[in-house]
Amino acid sequence: MGILEVKGVNKRFGGLQALGDVNLSVKENSVHAIIGPNGAGKSTLLNVLVGKLIPDTGSVMFDGKSVLGRAPYEINQMGISRVFQTPEIFGDLTVLENMLIPCFAKRDGAFEMNAITSVLSQRDVIEKAEHMLEEMNMADKQHMHAAALSRGDKRRLEIGMCLSQEPRLLLLDEPTAGMARADTNNTIDLLKQINEERNITIVIIEHDMHVVFSLADRITVLAQGSPLVEDDPQNIRGNPLVREAYLGEKA
Amino acid sequence: MLGMNKNDTTMLLLVAVLTMLAPFILNPFPTESGWAQFNAGYPDLMQRFVIFGIFAIGFNILFGLTGYLSFGHAAFLGIGSYSAVWMFKLLSMNVIPAILLSVAMAGVFALVIGYISLRRSGIYFSILTLAFAQMSFNLAYSVLTPITNGETGLQLTLNDPRILGLSQTADGSIPVTSLFGLEMRSTFEMVLGPWAFQFNVGYYLSALVLLAAFYLSIRIFRSPFGLMLRAVKSNQQRMNYTGLNTRPYTLAAFVISGMYAGLAGGLLASMDPLAGAERMQWTASGEVVLMTILGGAGTLIGPVLGAGFIKYFENIFSKINENVLHGWFGALPDGLEDLLVTLVYPFVGKGWHMTLGILFVLVVVFLPGGLVEGGQRIAAWLRRKKAGKNTPTSTIEPAE
Ligand SMILES: Nc1ncnc2c1ncn2[C@@H]1O[C@H](COP(=O)(O)OP(=O)(O)OP(=O)(O)O)[C@@H](O)[C@H]1O
Ligand SMILES: [Mg+2]
């Protein structure tokens, strides 16, 4: 059984079937890519996974526990972190302060706040945040307002914020969109590294096939709200159905 | 110093100097001069400056940090005042227990009202707080008359069953509020040439409380808790997806700011032991919003400036009547005098609200950061000017 099991999920928006009978099984420690044309329901699926949307029917199990009916912050505490399609960061705060928030939220591996230690000692948290920024190559920007960052930097900051909490499952919604080629390659390396060294399972939505084929162990193609095929990357590349539904469009 | 960085320490010291020297600073004009009416250095008004400063500092912890705009904070001010007066009636004329009860009662009410109101955000939150405050006002005004004495307001009487203390003094009058015997109303007057400066016990007690309240707010702003509150304002969604339930944070901020309001209400009653429902009216809630925005929401010192500014207007501008204006413009030819008086009159005296309104609009439109932003811009302009002077002037010499 996979670490994430999605079974028979349906979601309608009025007359639009955004998700139709979605089944998905993500193996632990793998990188699972979800690709599909615009409006296929990829982001909607992530919304269901993190508790932003409640599906009409179906079940979502993470590590053997259902996530449905839990608040987003509880699902995050279970170990699911998400990077959004449009970066969700704290625009009014500095880059360092942005990084401090997840570090304070999950301190010493736990989400419980200890009132006394959080008043008395903060040095360790600040050090952790600074270290994380160095790892993301953003140390020189730590006193900038996050709103002033480039789109690519915002997304890297968001990825760093998610990683600082050491999630078990990282959901990425088009993480390299708006990034320069060099940053895209850095991000690919970073994601490879966190997947291999920290054993973080990754579900990635991506339009950039270079990114998909560099990272993915397994690919699901979503079209009009339903999985078209799920297979290994080399088979997806040659699959005529996929070429027609998705890759063909790009050519 | 005291766990603060250099800027914050400077700011606290600045506030300390301003409040301690206020009797001088606010009385720049000799008593007999025509300008004396612009003096604000009398005890009653100075007390209002600092007490409403405390109210606004507390309000800013909620509004400035989290962005939740409460339109009902006057309810906590009123609750604080009623609690204090009851303490004077039942227990003792000492202000300490009265103020403690004020803060505690305001905290309890803020917990209940905040718990319910914070289930919504944005405009719905504001409306909920407004509704609760109006409800409190109406309860105080009519339904709860046995506790609040309705329209008349709650006052001390000659028959109060004061446990620790006398119901009336030896000469048959109502005892006065004090701090372990030090009477709040006692004032020392210092005459220096044509000036007269007043030093009042109640004012200095309130000013010390303001300093403590200001220090606490600095610590809150700079703490991880303050950071979380600013993060709530910036992006609640990201908070939720970072494993943080924002409700306890916002509720804590709401209760703290409610307790600040209760503290201010308790101090008001300690200076003058009466409490009326009008203290809880929505206009009073609106006033603290104005103070905070006018001074600079989310800045440390802004609310204090805003409170001083508005209270000065309320008490000084409102006293300029037609006669005063004729006095000012008396030297001019009659026609011109009447014209000027007619033009200026709507903006002073009873019209002070209009001037305040116009100023408020100007500030919000041109200085969204309030008076603090105004100060920063002037400082930056001065710095630029100074820097400009040092650069070679050859380029700006006029061509002949
Ligand atoms: N909250 C919503 N209410 C109504 N319709 C929605 C909502 N969210 C998404 N949709 C619709 O559902 C469909 C799927 O949207 P979704 O954002 O999941 O697509 P996507 O695969 O992520 O596309 P893209 O590649 O453009 O990001 C779209 O037609 C979209 O308009
Ligand atoms: Mg999408």
Please give, rounded to a whole number of angstroms, the shortest distance from the CA of B3 to a CA of chain A. 11
d(CA B162, CA B307): 34
| CA–centroid distance, residue A201 to ligand 1 (Å) | 24
CB B58 within 8 Å of CB B70: no
SS3 B399: coil
Shortest CA distance to B50 belongs to which of B268, B242, B248? B268
With a 6 Å cutoff on the Cβ, whether A175 touches ligand 1 is no
Using the Cα atoms of residue B361, residue B365, residue B368 and residue B370 in order, give the sign of their dihedral.
negative
CB contact under 8 A, A76 and B233: no
Characterize the bridge pairing of strands B154-155 and B274-275: antiparallel
pLDDT of residue A247: 54
B238 is written with which tokens? 């990201």
Point out the residue among A88, A100, A111 whose CB comes nearest to the CB of B238: A88
With a 6 Å cutoff on the Cβ, whether A47 touches ligand 1 is no
The protein residue whose alpha carbon is closest to atom 4 in ligand 1 is A13
SS3 B285: helix
CB contact under 8 A, A73 and B235: no
SS3 B31: coil
pLDDT tens digits, chain B, 400 residues: what are they?
A: 677 889 899 999 999 999 999 999 988 888 888 788 888 888 999 999 999 999 999 999 999 999 999 999 999 999 999 999 999 999 999 999 999 999 999 999 999 999 999 999 999 999 999 999 999 999 999 889 888 988 888 998 888 888 888 888 888 888 888 899 888 898 898 888 888 899 999 999 999 999 999 999 999 999 899 999 999 999 999 999 999 999 999 999 999 999 999 999 999 999 999 999 999 998 899 999 999 999 999 999 999 999 999 998 888 888 887 777 777 777 788 888 888 888 888 888 888 888 888 888 998 899 889 999 999 999 999 998 888 766 544 434 333 3
pLDDT of residue B74: 96
d(CA A234, CA A232): 6
The protein residue whose alpha carbon is closest to atom 22 in ligand 1 is A43
Strand order in the sheet with A57-62: A16-26, A4-13, A57-62, A65-66
Question: Which parts of chain A sit beneath pLDDT 50?
Answer: 250-251
Shortest CA distance to B196 belongs to which of B39, B50, B16, B34? B39
Tens-place pLDDT, residues A68-93: 989 999 999 999 999 998 999 999 99
d(CA B95, CA B83): 11
SS3 A172: strand
Atom of ligand 1 minimally distant from the CA of A222: 21
pLDDT of residue B396: 40
Q: How far is CA A63 from the centre of its chain?
A: 17
Write out the E strands in B130-227: 154-155, 178-179, 182-183, 187-192, 195-200
Per-domain residue ranges of chain B = 40-281
Tally of residues, chain A: 251
With a 6 Å cutoff on the Cβ, whether A41 touches ligand 1 is yes
Shortest CA distance to B156 belongs to which of B260, B239, B81, B75? B81
CB contact under 8 A, B243 and A92: no
With a 6 Å cutoff on the Cβ, whether A109 touches ligand 1 is no
3-state DSSP helix/strand/coil % of chain A, to nearest 5: 40, 25, 35
pLDDT of residue B14: 93
Exposed/middle/buried for residue B382 (C-beta within 10 Å: 0-12, 13-18, 19+):
exposed
3-state DSSP helix/strand/coil % of chain B, to nearest 5: 70, 5, 25
Which residues, listed in sequence order, are joined to residue A65 by a DSSP beta bridge? A62
pLDDT of residue B393: 43
Q: How far is CA A158 from the centre of its chain?
A: 10
pLDDT of residue B123: 95
CB contact under 8 A, A73 and B244: yes
d(CA A116, CA A122): 11
Which residue in this structure is represented by tokens 């139709």?
Answer: A20
Complete DSSP assignment for B56-75: HHHHHHHHHHH----S-THH
Which residue in this structure is represented by tokens 């920007």?
Answer: A141
The protein residue whose alpha carbon is closest to atom 11 in ligand 1 is A18
Q: Which phi and psi angles does A112 have, rounded to 5°?
A: -75, 135
CB proximity A94 to B under 8 Å: no
CB B74 within 8 Å of CB B288: yes
Exposed/middle/buried for residue A226 (C-beta within 10 Å: 0-12, 13-18, 19+):
middle
Shortest CA distance to B161 belongs to which of B89, B84, B261? B89
pLDDT of residue A249: 52
pTM value surpassing 0.95: no
